[in-house]
């Protein structure tokens, strides 16, 4: 799997886990008093976040991205729905790159 495709896949999974953590697990914890939901969702999200950072590093290295571009991609992962905006830019770049 090429670096951009891997980054897009992991970014999607990480973005979904972030939304699940924010909009499912957190309400379950605070409204229903079940902290286990955050513990489980947070652990999954943490693992996916680490995979995202490593795949971002790989893609940035292979494609020669400037530090500013890498930091922008990293910043997108910190904002809810940011990874889905990042995906559009990555898709355009993937479509332009030779196979």
Task: Round to whole Å and give the CA distance between 87 and 17.
Answer: 15
pLDDT (0 to 100) of residue 2: 92
Question: Token digits for 47?
Answer: 């693992």
- The pLDDT tens digits of the residues spanning 51-72 come to 999 999 999 999 999 999 999 9
Scan for tokens 């991205």, then name that residue. 65
Confidence class of residue 99 from pLDDT cuts 50, 70 and 90? low
Spatial CA neighbour of 6 closest among 80, 57, 43, 67: 57
Convert the pLDDT of each residue in 68-79 to its tens digit. Answer: 999 999 999 999
């Amino acid at each position: 799997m090429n670096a951009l495709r891997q980054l897009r896949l992991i970014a999607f999974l990480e973005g979904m886990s972030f939304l699940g953590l924010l909009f499912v697990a957190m309400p379950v914890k605070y409204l229903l008093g079940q902290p286990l939901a955050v513990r489980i969702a947070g652990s999954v999200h943490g693992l996916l976040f680490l995979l995202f950072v490593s795949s971002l590093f790989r893609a940035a290295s292979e494609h020669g991205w400037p530090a500013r571009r890498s930091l922008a991609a990293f910043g997108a992962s910190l904002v809810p729905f940011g990874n889905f905006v990042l995906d559009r830019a990555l898709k355009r770049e993937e479509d332009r790159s030779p196979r």
